[in-house]
Structure 1
């Protein structure tokens, strides 16, 4: 925690001087660079500097230590910048632990600022004066400390960076060897003039917590009054008080009293409930009142709004279900009506390169008939796509490897026909290797997988093909398609056209 407008430095835990440290702002996940001209926040090795702080610097920061073996270790830190408030010289959270109690109070954090100079010491926000205080370079010494010396000591010092002077303040509590020390009582909650919403007939618990001094106090009372009458003197069985005390981490002494009301009645809405905190120095009060919770009346406009919202949600849900069920038909209809075809200036020649298992016998099979007859008839003749098919567009006798590689690079899609012959083939075709390299490594070409035969679990397929199937699935050729293989309105051809480029 830091005060607004002051210098602040936070440190990454010390490690070997040879390691590299990087600072990040966790809220934006951006690296905090080294110092630049005019920068308020910058990193310098394991230090993160704020020169000066502003409210916008509040947030979470991470320092990452990079080791030589490529391992890293990160540490998260939270920065809260507090604004200055009149009459408050330090927020309660900007405190450092108690010193020895033997009279020496060291200025916290001053060692983080090179050549810093203390300007002034304060006790409980007042300038420290008197012959009992000896001021050293980084500390003060209280001669013969007594109970009245207990309190909060603030050192304000200056730090110079590249000719610019910044102020820094740091506060620590000092507790002498005395048994206890009172402080002006301060009620932490409730706040004065708070209004608490209640329901008639419901129970309520009002809690009041106050800080009353350092160490256990001989006189410390926190109680509730109702219309200026202490609860213990009221003859009302609905009201009960319960008190407990505890010490904070810096030996601050607190008391908390809860007023339990078993049932809220109408007369309670007119009463003032006052928390009173008293010690041997002073007393303070905080008063709260009760009011009924606003009733939520559901009128006709609200009913119509609720019904309309429900109808809208149902319509959205039905629309999503219909779209998921008929997505392919909707997209194809949209293309047919609006013809959103892009200008093909991407340097490609073919819409798809077709990869299929080659038949090394003279017997004709359905897959080759499908590739050379059915696919061109549907995709080229009927819908205007341009395919590249080995044996038709790439002829034996050419520089086959070079021609295949160039054709694949000039194609917008890769169509791979999956068959049992493809699984059982020990040596995969060159065009299949190049195609999968372009699809998976270069991420250059989208793949359309046509499952021409029932493959099963895909376990015998290449790992790269199994990966693509897991990502996007396959378009399956069913036996009923064989009866009318050139029916362009079948689900199979609609799926193929859906995956083809515009």
Structure 2
């Protein structure tokens, strides 16, 4: 019950403060210049005075730390870290949480109220946002503690300047060595306690302006502007004359050498800003004569007169634009289709040319570790697997392309530990090549190959997989779950038979997924045939 009453009281006080603030700011208080932004450093203290203490003014301070309409009134208790004394706001030992909007209302008559808003941003470390601007003056004046008592010390690029204790420091004979950030630290007293506030400016040396010839930014020389008879047209001429526009610099438009500023149907607006001079020519209705005339934008300064020419041209018909667009679209479509169709050839051709840059030594011994079912197949399926491996895979990849494949029964030594051999050879292979037949991929004798390979790919993510499917399959439900997951991520390459040519579409896709073959590991077809004897397939 007590907690509920306390919450009700706090809500009433908050609503009164917000209502009071809204009343003052919208009805009774007039917004003064601002809002102002003040950037300060954490750990220092802030003394923010407004010099309106005459005429017995009264002051009320608010702050909004969350940039919402939830305002908090600042008290006058000097024991508080944040308080105010009449028009002066004190924030002692600034923290990052003090960032927010601070508002003061001051009255000097019964119905006269002014509101001043200041955004205070607290930075934890030094930032260029803390600078009070740049200066090229030889005398640097401290930007803080103005018209307030305090002692001063000065730093240049955060290094103490000895024997400098005045409000200003004079830089004699400014040079590049003098450039840098000058920081003054003001120490002031508040009820017997010393507090510090710092302010920094950067000293720069302004270079003397050098006259440069006029430079046209718009329009481009000898440009063509498309338009239609009777249409309104706006021509823009923009010229750069230097860092500042000189008094004797002008820009104007001419038609066939005659100024247009007083001709009927033409309106010219001239302006200067920064180093640019601009002239906008508005043609009320383009005539046939305008299409046959030369428009010139002329720029002149104290030394020279230059100009650029603009020609008006009848805008092409909509039909012409459509035909051009269709032609360009067709060309791009054909180009994209051709590029897509020959993408594999381009990649394989680039590998062949830049093989020295494309492939680096990675410590691998084999280009691919081949997994396929070697036993437990029916006669027809076994014959299909045998014909693909012996009659297509080995001749193309090893004999013709120079890849080095690891195949059980050919590359393992009698008496070796099978499990260790499989783990080692998979780790020494750059790809895992899995051959799917209608009955699966591995019988009991080959299950460990597939299990180790899937672990290397799915868990460790080290060996990319190439899956070749021999013939069509209704689904993959008979395959291991890990292999089904791989097939969802990357589709298998379908072998339909009869593609024994190295340049067939199927083998190009296989070679694209294989690593670049190195000439140092090429094998001849004869050596492969002598080393490998296909074992009998049991039904």
TM-score, normalised to structure 2, is 0.42
Structure 1 or 2: larger helix share?
A: 2
Q: Larger radius of gyration, structure 1 or 2?
A: 2
